[in-house]
């Protein structure tokens, strides 16, 4: 939940500085991932408690996920790697869902996080939002903001979200 609060606050803070929502959202998720990814390295114990017992190499995976979050943040900010970083980040958010579900089912006591069981259940519906945010901010999808259908160009068919500049006759 802290992650999503960061996303919203950072996106709104970027409004005066960036002209479009994907750019604002991209900067917000990159900053949030840099902070959270760094925290995996600075205080791994907080994340070790979240690891399900059936997953091996707890410390190594906590450090790896922190590095993955930092790498994704950097990748989103580099235009050449933005789309790949967004796709990998979406996969990452799907991959960590089982650990979040485990925490909701079994409860958790982590320093700095609420002790109430509802908190871990409330986090679960936000996971698809994280996947969408990664894909949208990387420019991989435009849903639900671009529903116009445009001509494909090569094959003459029409598909959602395809961009083809209008040609004007001289």
> Per the structure block, which two tokens stand in for 2?
């802290």
pLDDT cut 70: percent of the chain above it: 85
pLDDT at 161 over 60: no
For position 117, what pLDDT does the model report? 76
**Whether residue 150 has pLDDT greater than 70:** no
| Structure token pair of residue 84 | 């790949």
To the nearest whole percent, how much of the chain has pLDDT over 90? 48
- In which band, very low, low, confident or very high, does the pLDDT at 78 lie, cut at 50, 70 and 90? very high
pLDDT digit string (tens) for 18-31? 888 899 999 999 99
Collapsed DSSP state (helix, strand, coil) of residue 19 = coil
What's CA 140's distance to the chain center, in Å?
13
pLDDT at 169: 46
Domain boundaries, the chain: 2-144
Across the range 73-88, mean pLDDT stands at 97
Confidence check: pLDDT of 165 > 50 = no
Give me the pLDDT at residue 127, please. Answer: 92
Query: pLDDT tens digits, residue range 14-68?
Result: 888 888 889 999 999 999 999 999 999 999 988 898 888 888 999 999 999 999 9
The confidence band for 168, taking pLDDT boundaries of 50, 70 and 90, is very low
- pLDDT level of residue 147 (50, 70, 90 thresholds): low
pLDDT for the residue 113: 72
CB burial string 43-82: b at 16+ within 10 A, e below: ebeebeebbeeeeeebeebbeebbebbbbbbebbbeeebb
């Amino acid at each position: 939940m802290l992650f999503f609060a960061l996303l919203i606050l950072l996106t709104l803070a970027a409004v005066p500085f960036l002209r479009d929502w994907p750019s604002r959202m991209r900067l917000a998720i990159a900053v949030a991932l840099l902070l959270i990814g760094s925290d995996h390295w600075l205080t791994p114990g907080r994340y070790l408690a979240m690891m399900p017992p059936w997953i091996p190499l707890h410390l190594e995976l906590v450090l790896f996920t922190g590095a993955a979050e930092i790498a994704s943040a950097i990748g989103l900010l580099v235009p050449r790697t933005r789309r790949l970083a967004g796709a990998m980040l979406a996969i990452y958010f799907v991959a960590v869902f089982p650990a979040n579900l485990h925490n909701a089912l079994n409860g958790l006591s982590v320093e700095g996080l609420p002790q109430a069981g509802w908190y871990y259940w409330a986090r679960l519906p936000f996971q698809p939002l994280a996947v969408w945010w990664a894909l949208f901010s990387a420019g991989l999808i435009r849903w639900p903001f671009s529903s116009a259908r445009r001509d494909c160009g090569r094959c003459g068919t029409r598909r959602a979200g395809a961009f083809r500049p209008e040609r004007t006759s001289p």
